[in-house]
Amino acid sequence: MKNVVLFLFLLSGTIFTVNAQKCDDHCKKKEQIKSQKVAFITDKLQLTVEEAQQFWPIYNELNKKSDDLDAQIRTITKNFRTNKETLTISELETMSDKLVELQLSAAKIEAEYYQKFKKALSIKKIMELNQAEKEFKHELLQQLKKCSAGKE
């Protein structure tokens, strides 16, 4: 088990180092970001083998559903940005209603998966997961800022 954790820790360090060295190549690659996130969360949560076997399928399923909702939200907001001058009040209301509906769906999904996580992890690890996700987003934003600063 310690070897698995050590390997994942080293992998996450390697990924972040490679990302820093080739920022332009890596900043926009979604799969690499997902790999970084997996390594980061694994390191932060210190999952046992049994916990990991239960946790990752639930987490991946949640992310798939969240990604699907996010894609729908992006479609609506892009449509608004592109066509806001020509949309009717009725169309705007429909779009706005749909956004609220999608946000409510996202909250329901979060609640549903919280219950699933409770069956796989301790409450402490669930709280650590929330913290790890915030920390990862912060680190990712810092990397993106560095990429943007390097292009100017």
Same domain, 61 and 15: no
Q: Report how many domains make up the chain.
A: 2
pLDDT attached to residue 5: 42
Same domain, 9 and 34: yes
Same domain, 135 and 94: no
Residue (of 39, 33, 52) closest to 125 by Cα position: 52
Helical ranges in the chain per DSSP H: 2-21, 23-26, 30-45, 49-83, 89-120, 123-151
pLDDT attached to residue 94: 97
Same domain, 40 and 56: no
pLDDT attached to residue 40: 93
29, containing H or E segment: none
For residues 47 and 84, the answer to whether their CB atoms sit within 8 Å is no
Same domain, 57 and 97: yes
Enumerate residue ranges in the chain where pLDDT < 70. 1-28, 150-152
Domain with 8 in it: 1-47+123-152
Same domain, 98 and 132: no
C-alpha distances (whole Å) from 88 to each of 57, 70, 79, 94 are 43, 24, 13, 10
For residues 120 and 28, the answer to whether their CB atoms sit within 8 Å is no
